[in-house]
Amino acid sequence: MIKLLIDCFGGDHCPEAPVAGAVAALAKNPELHLLLTGDEALIRAELAGKSYDASRLEIVHAPEVIGGDEKPTDAIRLKRNSSMMKAIIMLRDCDDIAGMVSTGSTGALVTGALVRLGRIPGVIRPAFCPLLPTMTGGIVGICDSGANPEVTSAHLRQFAIMASLYLENVYGIASPRTALLNVGLEAEKGDDLRRETYALLKETPSVNFVGNMESRDLLSGSYDLVVADGFSGNVLVKTTEGTAVELLKKLKKDIYSRNLYKFGALLMKRMFMEEKEFMNYQNYGGSVLLGTQKVVVKGHGSSRAVAVEKCIEQAYRMETSRLSAKIESEIAKYEHYED
């Protein structure tokens, strides 16, 4: 049995999305045991009328909610009775709980996880690794995408090692083609950090390093993993999502501008729905935090039930594949310096 905590508050569709996602995940996976954190009465109300195996679902009462605009350091200090902090503290204290899923404040989750949960021995900095769909039908991971705005080449090497193991063990991608996000393809491009990291990744046998990547090629399908500092990685992911959303919006608006287009689009309805599904991040799970001793998966703030269910599945597979132990033993092969 794998036990996971589900933070039921803080996202845009709470508690309905986490509760429905949890119920769906329980139905599909008999090896799953879930603990839902949040206001008990509200969670119970949401569960009413739903069928689930009550022996594998518990509620942990935590009436407070951390808002998206709260200062993370204040939130983790002052809101110990919030659905998120309660989950983090239980995750730290209970040996039999493997991980947690949250759609709440990213800042509070990162800070809470860093301060309260231990890192995997040898890991300098945990990092986020979200996934995006590629044009060849696969996925591409981006690590880091926001946990560490400032990094060194040693950090970036660890991100590459951890995320390679994640893609290999959770998604079955053998020796993921790993690139460094840079402003050009040549080894000498970018700033000192990029040049140092390029050299370091070249001599890292644990990583299938294929060189620099320009951001315009992210979705091409030529890469399985892109390593970046948390600032530019964040720009990379959010720009991709934002451009796709804006273009689909524009397309829709333009279609509605003329009856002829509306008729044409009607014939292509199924195709447009598929495009929309293709660009829907809800289908690609959450952004996992790599490097903490226990599993932490961050779902998009706007996650619906299906997205939460995917996050739970990711957490389950991270745990059953023994990813943490594999990260520990791979990281140990390299010299590293604590910062």
Q: Which residues bind a second copy (CB under 8 A)?
A: 69, 71, 107, 135, 146, 149-150, 181, 183-184, 186, 188, 190-192, 194, 214-220, 230-232, 234-236, 238-247, 249-251, 254-255, 258, 260-261, 263-268, 271, 274-275, 278-279
Nearest to 163 by CA among 200, 128, 119, 132: 128
Q: Are strands 295-298 and 97-102 parallel, antiparallel or unpaired?
A: parallel
CB of 39 to a second copy, least distance (A): 26
Nearer to a second copy, 72 or 285 (CB): 72
Structure tokens at 104: 């709440």
Q: Which helix (H) or strand (E) segment is 214 a member of? A: strand 208-214
Q: Is the CB of 58 or the CB of 191 nearer to a second copy?
A: 191
Q: Which is nearer to a second copy, 41 or 245 (CB)?
A: 245
Whole-number minimum distance, CB 251 to a second copy, in Å?
7
> Which residues make Cβ contacts (< 8 Å) with residue 323, sequence separation at least 6?
165, 166, 169, 170, 295
Strand partners, 141: 131, 225
Q: Which residues pair with 6 in a beta bridge?
A: 36, 101
How far apart, in whole angstroms, are the C-alpha atoms of residue 191 and residue 202?
A: 17
Indicate the residue among 118 and 184 with the shorter CB distance to a second copy: 184
For residue 310, report the phi and psi dihedrals to the nearest 5 degrees.
-60, -40
- Least Å from the CB of residue 145 to a second copy: 9
Alpha helices in the chain (DSSP H): 16-28, 40-47, 72-78, 83-93, 106-116, 153-171, 192-202, 230-255, 259-267, 269-278, 305-320, 323-331
CB of 217 to a second copy, least distance (A): 6
Residue closer to a second copy by CB (options 73, 329) is: 73
As measured in angstroms, the least distance from the Cβ of 134 to a second copy is 9
Instruction: Answer for the pair 219, 132: CB distance below 8 angstroms, yes or no.
Output: yes
Q: Closer CB to a second copy, residue 275 or residue 330?
A: 275
| Cβ proximity to a second copy, 115 vs 268, nearer residue | 268
Closest to a second copy by CB, 51 vs 216, is 216
Kind of pairing between the strands at 295-298 and 131-133? unpaired
C-alpha angle 108-5-338 in degrees, rounded to nearest 5: 50
